[in-house]
């Protein structure tokens, strides 16, 4: 917890978070924790709405929050509900989001204004979650796989806003790494180009350069799915996506769902 406090000091020297920041609703538990300097961990919500079916998504969300609590921190799941950005969800709000599923809009940073202005429900991606976490002074965010450069991205220019957010928002993101459906080598090259080289992390913090930090924690070997099985499913899913002209922010949910189907649930089990 001392390391987390030091990280907060580097990334957010000072902040005010009593009850909310501007138009953001902060749960009483999260607000109290931030005010008292306790450890808070931000969590995204796209994995709840678009990552798995109900009720598995709700069970997983509760389990993840429980793990955060067991390790002495306060979980802050982030989402937009009825046009209001929420940092820290109640059990009822988690249930609502899980029930909405893909009817909640997948919300990256660029989508926030639209979802808020229309009073919609938005499940935050890595970029939107980082944005809101930074606004309220949460320096640490834990997620599964991050977005990146899509395969054939050199032709489509399909690059996740997760990467640009990492280059401009001072939040440390702990992740299992880049989603396997993506072009991993090109994603790593992009990260280096956005000042996220791991050799510069310490200097980055001390100099307050305003960029995030990506900490990759590989999946434990005993929980990993067969690489050959996953890659075969990915290639088939990519072909189907091209045939159906599934592009943009619809691509990742389709690919993840289809790979899960083709692997008989093995990819989802590994993600969990």
Query: 213 with 246, same domain?
Result: no
**Is 240 in the active site?**
no
Is there a single domain that holds both residue 73 and residue 140? yes
* 3-state percent helix, strand, coil for the chain, nearest multiple of 5: 50, 15, 30
The Cα 19–Cα 125 span in angstroms is: 23
Query: Would the pLDDT of 198 be above 60?
Result: no
- Strand 74-81 versus strand 84-87 pairing type: antiparallel
The pLDDT confidence band at residue 137, using thresholds 50, 70 and 90, is: very high
Active site residue 44: yes
pLDDT tens-digit readout, 63-100 = 999 999 999 999 999 999 999 999 999 999 999 999 99
Q: Who wins on pLDDT, 227 or 116?
A: 116
Q: Is the pTM of this model over 0.75?
A: yes
Q: Which of 25, 44, 165, 231 is flagged as catalytic? A: 44
In terms of domains, do 237 and 177 share one?
no
pLDDT at 80: 98
Q: What is the pLDDT of residue 94?
A: 97
Same domain for 161 and 262: no
Instruction: State whether 237 and 270 are in the same domain.
Output: yes
Residues 212, 229: one domain? no
Same domain, 103 and 235: no
Q: Which domain holds residue 35?
A: 2-218
Could you give the 3-state DSSP secondary structure of residue 6?
helix
123 and 209 together in one domain:
yes
For residue 222, is pLDDT > 80? no
pLDDT of residue 57: 94
- Beta-ladder partners of 41: 75
In this prediction, residue 123 carries a pLDDT of 97
CATH number of the domain at 126, please: 3.40.1790.10
Q: Are residues 19 and 44 in the same domain?
A: yes
Residue tagged active-site, from 65, 106, 165, 179: 179
Number of domains in the chain: 2
Same domain for 183 and 137: yes
């Amino acid at each position: 917890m001392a390391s987390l406090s030091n990280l907060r000091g580097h990334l957010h020297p000072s902040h005010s978070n009593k009850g909310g920041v501007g138009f953001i609703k902060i749960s009483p538990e999260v607000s109290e924790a931030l005010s008292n300097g306790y450890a808070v961990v931000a969590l995204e919500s796209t994995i709840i709405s678009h990552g798995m079916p109900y009720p598995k998504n709700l069970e997983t969300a509760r389990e993840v929050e429980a793990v955060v609590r067991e390790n002495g921190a306060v979980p802050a799941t982030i989402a937009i509900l009825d046009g209001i950005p929420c940092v820290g969800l109640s059990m009822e709000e988690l249930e609502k989001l899980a029930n909405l599923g893909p009817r909640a809009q997948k919300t990256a940073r660029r989508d926030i204004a639209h979802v808020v202005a229309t009073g919609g429900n938005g499940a935050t991606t890595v970029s939107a979650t980082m944005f809101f976490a930074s606004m309220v002074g949460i320096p640490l965010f834990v997620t599964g796989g991050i977005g990146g450069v899509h395969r054939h991205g050199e032709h489509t220019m399909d690059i996740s806003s997760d990467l640009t957010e990492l280059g401009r928002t001072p939040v440390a993101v702990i992740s299992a790494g880049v989603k396997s459906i993506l072009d991993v080598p090109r994603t790593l090259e992009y990260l280096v180009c956005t000042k996220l080289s791991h050799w510069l992390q310490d200097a980055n913090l001390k100099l307050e350069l305003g960029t995030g930090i990506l900490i990759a924690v590989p999946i434990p070997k005993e929980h990993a799915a067969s690489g050959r099985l996953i890659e075969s499913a990915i290639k088939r899913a990519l072909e189907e996506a091209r045939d159906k002209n599934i592009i943009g922010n619809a691509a990742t949910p389709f690919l993840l769902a289809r790979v899960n189907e083709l692997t008989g649930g093995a990819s989802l089990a590994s993600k969990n």
